[in-house]
Structure 1
């Protein structure tokens, strides 16, 4: 792959644009050097963090997507390293109630959202949509990426022509799919069931299909189909799991490194309980496939037009990386592969949050003297 390789993709309005996937390390470190020397943003600026706490979520299953009080404090303190005014709102409704007051106090408002109030494909799209409507500066995933990121089937179809060799065998199931005929198409082996529009390992289940257990598997799938009307059946890739975070800046993607997931769960994958209890850890992956993993991830991000931060997850089998998940709005709190590798590169748990904020300032054309000069 050439260093300056670009990919032409359709933008949200039907036009075409060029996006490069150079590894712009130097510019990112220049930006972080600027961040470390900059004074706090004045009272013209405010950061609003929108989140969900577990105690306000009616659906217990989705509690794995909520943040703890420790995580909330860490995120607030991270933004406060750069901004004097940081607001935290527990849920979308509270954000709406506070918005008018915040707009009266501050000229420039930057939004970082992890919130959701519904289930389904568009469950994380409401805050990005409000940002578009009220012309607020969204430093997280935009409406396009947030919506697309909730539809596994659509994402895999959009990237298939770019990374066809890196997609595991997958069958997509809807509520009208004839499960008996579907099972007849599957060869014996181990598969992973995944809801089409969930994250944080919600609903993920491993099954083993053999000629002797077809009836049992059919019953399992029937129950699963009633709960998740759209899901996929994907071949289980038995091998190391590597996650690749990407940060978009100046029309290019920066990758801080590859992260291997250390998981001792008997299930052999990041199941719901393992994720909910944070019973896994990380180490940097520097193996022979590092460059291939990063380049493949950048192709995916380009094809899906992710323009803030994202994460592409792989499993490696027989020296081939297979894409097992795509995160358009990944968790970046302390116990995450993204924060782990940014922490390692910049020696600060706040680095990824500060970078998102300053990239937001840059995109809003607010990153200019005398603002960025220390006192």
Structure 2
């Protein structure tokens, strides 16, 4: 029997790799000689670097950068196989978890550290970039990142603006003359699964600002700043980005990548599946096991397990999906390539207990054992 394990992480509980290990142990309890191929997966958000670095036998790089609050932090990114492609999650440098809840304020948070990671990767010889957008604590339209890359944004007094979303309204001129010269030789693929415009009621500030600490009054100011930035960008650089799908991703970082770095946006799932070569790894598989922390209606809208299931369906391979929780809305997955899905919870427990890493690991392992005992009995 050949089994492909392609698990997303159980957020705040187990990484993709740890989920795969638990399932592998469960299979071995029943089928000691099974051929098992385990690959971590992600959808462009948390876990993207881990999935790609593992699949490409790449390396981790740690770099001190300016964090979202303007203070130094340690951030990691990955360099794949031949030292030519870098994988960066923006959340590593400006993510919401890096900001304590009582300090969350998109007026001041910056994406500067993202630009520093890009510069470091360029210095190490990388010319191809895969960027995972999502989970940022920022609403600065990516100007912090661009400042780190050498772009200049000046106010009416010809002074460089500072950090944060509140400075967008101050920008009057944009100078691109000192941008990092090697950016012209770089290509950027953006893993992004949102299509929000830069500003407006569906834009970065209104949709994502509140979770980053913005009050309703702040949202209005931030949205006005994003609109001002788009206007100046069009006037100064003849770049039109405000209504481009995905421009509002990660507090407007999408706009910066599209407008200044000529990035192409892709479905996070599609880009990850392609880069880890999951279709090749699925050849001759008898069964695929996938899953994530929660299977619900959102899973059917482009999450990693669905991407796995679609590929498996194309090759006629049955798919089992495992999750900490599986809601009634997850039943639509049965029409989209998932043969059957199961919650790994085996008794009532508090959420905090269910998310304990040791308990989650054992529940994944024991559920897998029971599933494969059933499979073994049916084969007899």
Same fold, judged at TM 0.5 (above): no
RCO (CA 8 Å, sep 6+): is it higher in 1 or 2?
1
Q: Larger Rg: 1 or 2?
A: 2
State the TM-score, normalizing by the size of structure 1. 0.25
Structure ranking higher in helix proportion: 2
State the TM-score, normalizing by the size of structure 2. 0.25
Structure ranking higher in strand proportion: 1
